[in-house]
Every structure is written in C-alpha cells, then in structure tokens.
Amino acid sequence: MMEDLVRRALEEDIGSGDVTSEACIPASQRAAGRFIAREPLIISGLELLPLMYDSREILKRDGDHCLEGEVIATVAGPARRLLALERTALNFLQHLSGVATMARQFADAAAGTTCRVLDTRKTTPGLRELEKRAAAAGGVTNHRMGLFDAILIKNNHITAAGGVRNALERSREKRLPVEIEVRTREELREALQAGAEHLLLDNLTPAEARDWIREIAGRAKVELSGGITLDTIRAYAETGADFVSSGAITHSARAMDISFRLELV
C-alpha cells in the first residue's frame, strides 16, 4: 500500500520528467541532501524515505521531538534524482509531522487525567493509514480505522434502524465492538437499559457532559466528541469521560516547516 502511494505521488509530480533538473544539471553530478527541522515539531512519515531513496541515513524515529535546526535524515545519490524527489518527500514529512505535532498537543492537554484522546475518520482520502500512524506517533489513540472494524451507531443509523434498542440488538449479531451515540436523556436511558457498553455523547458542554456521566455512573464507557479543540479539551477530559475525540488532529493540522538542503559531492 505504501509503495503504491509513493509511486502515485511521484508520478503525479514528476510526470514525464523533471525538465528543470534535466536542463540545468549534468546526469553524472552526484549530491547529498539533509532534511532539517525549521521549527520544533514531532516528526512522522520517516517510513516513507526508504521507499524513495536508495542511500539514506534516518537520524530520528517517528514520534521523536525535533528542535529547530536539527537534521532529521540525510540522503545521497544523483543530484537530478534528489531534486526530483524533494517536493514529494517534503510534502509527506511536513503534513504527517503536522498531524503528529497536533496529536502531541492534544495528548499533552489531557495529560494527568484518566481520559484518553482519540483520533477520527476525518482524514485525507487515501492517506488515512499514514495519518492514523502519525496521530499515534504523536501520542493519541487510534479510533476505528474505517467502517469495517468496529460498529459506531450514530444518529442517522438510529433513525434508519427505528430506534436505539433496534439498532443495538441488530448490531450484536456482528460480534464486533459496539458504540452508540445518544442525543437525549431518553436515548441515554434506553441505551443503558438495552445493555449498551460504550456511549458517544456529542456536542455537550463540559458541564452537561459531567452531568450525563454522573447519571451513567460507570455502567458504560463514555466518549465525548463534537467541536473539541485544544482550548477546550482539558475541560472535557476532566469530566470523567473515558475518551475524548477530535477530528482537528487530522483535518486541521498545519504542515510543519521542514527544509531540504542539497550539497554537491
């Protein structure tokens, strides 16, 4: 999967050839290059470098903290080839390090509570596995990978199934982990009476969440979601919830500043 992703990314950028490097640089010219952090960050995406470079030395591991000016990895080879790979390699590293850095900020914000931070399926199409790995490298817990590995009954499922009890009872036939979203106190009580073991509470304030969790009283695991940000996650993590999830970890992470410096050899 990773090999195919890298291949398609390179084909997208290089196409029929890097005409600038071919025009300017002799085919025999060799070079070395360094990937350098230009700001503090949590690095991720290093597993892709061996799929792109035959000669490389990776100096960090995914999840490591990099200081401004630190060298992350070095590569060597024909100068034309290094320049053709530069943008694609940086795109991967910058984006995935952004996810990992954002994840670390969320994890740090909830540190010291009993609440674990989860990522979501709000990922870039085609990059979910990489973004999930980056989120884990940053210190959060991966939620389900897709629609196939766990059951999450949300409001539209409840509507289509004809109610909370119907949705729960039918879901048990799959013998997979089951989580159900409840929107009202009536749905909450119906879910608990039907034996729900994992509840999703969406779009509550921290005070409301604390009140609902008090009523749940440990009868089910609780996840909180809905617009949770770095500014608010601590308040949600302190409500007594088991999990807090945020799509911002993947869909709102900015690319980190990483540069590539080439030297002739």
Which secondary-structure segment (H or E) carries 2?
Answer: helix 2-14
Catalytic residue among 18, 181, 190, 223: 181
Of the listed 122, 183, 210, 234, which one is catalytic?
122
Is the separation of the CB atoms in 128 and 144 below 8 Å? no
Helix (H, G, I), strand (E, B) or coil at 116: strand
181 among known catalytic residues: yes
Is 221 an active-site residue? no
* Alpha carbon distances (Å) from 52 to 46, 56, 77, 85, 203: 11, 9, 11, 7, 43
> Among the options 87, 116, 189, 221, which is catalytic?
87
Q: Which of 197, 202, 238, 242 is catalytic?
A: 202
Provide the terminal-to-terminal Cα distance of the chain, rounded to the nearest Å.
34
Contact present, 121 and 105 (Cβ < 8 Å)? no
Candidates 56, 121, 128, 154; catalytic one? 154
Active site residue 132: no
Catalytic site includes residue 122: yes
Alpha helix (H) residue ranges in 115-232: 128-138, 155-161, 164-171, 185-193, 206-216
Residue 55's DSSP bridge partners are: 76
Six-digit token string for 120: 């979501």
Is residue 174 part of the annotated active site? The answer reads no
CB 244 within 8 A of CB 117: yes
Residues with active-site annotation: 87, 122, 154, 181, 202
